[in-house]
Structure formats: C-alpha cells, structure tokens
Chain A
Amino acid sequence: MNRDKYDENISLDALRKGDKKAFAQLVKANSEAIYRLALRMLNDPQDAEDILQETFIKAFHYLPNFEGRSKLSTWLYRIAVNESLMHIRKKKPQVTSIDEENETDQGDLVPKQIIDWCCLPEDSLLTSETQEYISKAVQDLSPANRAAFLLRDISGLSTREAAQALEISESALKTRLSRARLEMRELLTSYFSERMAAA
C-alpha cells in the first residue's frame, strides 16, 4: 500500500473534527509502520504494542491542533519516537542524554574494520540468525542515533522528514545517521567476519 497516497485521501478536516471513520482510515494506513518502528526501537513486542496504542491515542487527542506542516505519517512517527524515547528513559533513568547528543563530536565517524563481507552468498546473509543479530545490534545504538537510522533507512523517510519527526536540523540528522550507519556497519562486519573465518 502506498501510505502517502492513502494519507492524502484522508480528510484532514474530518480528522480534526474527530471523525471516527477518517481516524479508522488513518489507523489502518499507518499502524503497521508505527508498530515496526516501535519494535525496532525497543526490541520487545509488548512494549511495541504499548507504543502503538499510545501513539494513536495521542494522535486522536491532538489531531484538532495538527497544523499540517508535515505529512500526517511524519507527525505519527514523531509521536511514536517520542513515546519510545520516554519509554527508554523510564526503563534506563541513568541514561541522561537520550535525545540530545553533541552534534559536533565527530570522534566515532571512522570505519575501523576494512573487511569485505559482501562476497558472502546471499543465503548466508539473509538467515533468521542474522536478522536476530541485527535486531539486537540496533539496540546498541544510542536511542537518538537509533531513531535517526530507523526513520531514514528503515521507515524510508526523507532526510527532511526524518529531521522533522525528530525536531532537529537536517544537519544534525545527518550526523546522527552517519554515526548510526557506521556503527551498524562495524557490528555487522564483526559478525560476518567471524562467519567468514569459521567457513
């Protein structure tokens, strides 16, 4: 389903007035994407379900104030990310800087392992074990970098939309995205080089 097209066909006016039929359309068009994002953010199906429900409860509540400066789907992502970050904060109160990082710190932006694992056969890259590893590896990213990575590379938002959803500048989004991508690459390089060595 093309969600953007779907969103465009839902009457914003009706949504703002609390029309349940229009709201049901919004839920139908976006619930899977929001669940997927929440599951990747938190790696726990029950937590992801809680975030999914809370996202749409909040959306219904705040729709009368939605100004339409972003797409509806981007706005829903923003709510879901904020809910997920709050959830992480509650679970790990010792993490003080969950969504604000030093944007100028470039210290980690250097690839450390130069190993070409792309030559591995596709069927050994696409195993369920690999996917399980990826789910866990995403949790190693800082929550702020994780959100940038998931919105941009998994949910498929543009740089501008992802920045809007996180309420940061495009430049800050790119910094977080670079770190997240490089960190994920390092983690997968370690994972696949072990398999290459064992083969």
Chain B
Amino acid sequence: MKKTKTISCQDVIDHLCDYIDSNLDEAQYLALKAHIADCQNCQIVINTLNKTIELCKSGSDNIKLPDEVRKRLIAKLGLEKLRDQ
C-alpha cells in the first residue's frame, strides 16, 4: 500500500462511502483528496466506483412500471374507480 504523508490507500478505502457521498468534514476530505491526487490506484478506484454507481442508476431509471402491471395493481387494491383522479 502506498503512503502519502499520514494518509494511506487503506484510509481512502475505509472512508470510501463518506468520501464519495461528501459526508466528511473538510479536514478529512482535503487530506483524502490530497492523497488521491497523488495516487493513481486510488484515482482509478474512485473513478470506476463512481462510474459503477452511475451505470447502475441509469439502467434502473429506465425501468418503467408496465401498464398491465399497474392495472392489475389497481384492480387488486380495488381502486379502479379512482384510477384517473
């Protein structure tokens, strides 16, 4: 594992979620950011991780509720009369 000052690659991995989700305080964030700027492996992990989330999200956003499934749901719940309100 490469070390940059006091921050290691393992530190980045340990705080990966908080780093990606911007849940760190400023000092922690800047320390990790400085390590990542200097560490190609961490850059690759962060970039491919962000891309992974983006691809999973974009594919799921394309999932639509089929009309027939919606109709059966409405019927099952006895809401047919209220469907268009």
Contact = CB atoms under 8 A, between A and B. Distances in A.
Contacts of A23: 77, 79
Interface of B: 13-14, 16-18, 20-21, 23, 41, 44-45, 47-49, 51-53, 55-60, 62-66, 69-70, 72-74, 76-79, 82-83, 85
Contacts of B48: 115-118, 185, 188-189
Which 10 pairs between the two chains have the least Cβ-Cβ distance?
Answer: A24-B82, A131-B59, A32-B65, A36-B63, A185-B52, A154-B60, A116-B44, A24-B79, A35-B65, A111-B45
A184 B79 contact: no
Contact of A181 (B23, B52, B77): B52
A116 B52 contact: no
A27 B52 CA distance: 31
Given A36-B63, A134-B56, A181-B53, A31 B14 contact: no
A184 to B, nearest CB: 5
B47, B55, B66 — most chain A CB neighbours (10 Å): B55
Interface of A: 20-21, 23-24, 27, 31-32, 35-36, 39-40, 45, 49, 52-53, 56-57, 60, 109-111, 114-118, 125-126, 130-131, 134-135, 138, 149, 153-154, 159, 174, 177-178, 181-182, 184-185, 188-189
A39 B65 CA distance: 10
B57 to A, nearest CB: 6
B73 A27 contact: yes
A53 B73 CA distance: 6
B69 A49 contact: yes
A185 B16 CA distance: 13
A21 B44 contact: no
A114 B44 contact: yes
B69 A181 contact: no
11 contacts: A20-B79, A21-B85, A45-B66, A53-B72, A56-B73, A110-B13, A126-B58, A130-B59, A134-B55, A153-B57, A154-B60
Contacts of A39: 63
B74 to A, nearest CB: 7
B65 A20 contact: no
A117 to B, nearest CB: 6
Contacts of A32: 64-65
Contact of A184 (B20, B56, B60, B83): B56
Contacts of A35: 63, 65, 69
A159 B79 CA distance: 34
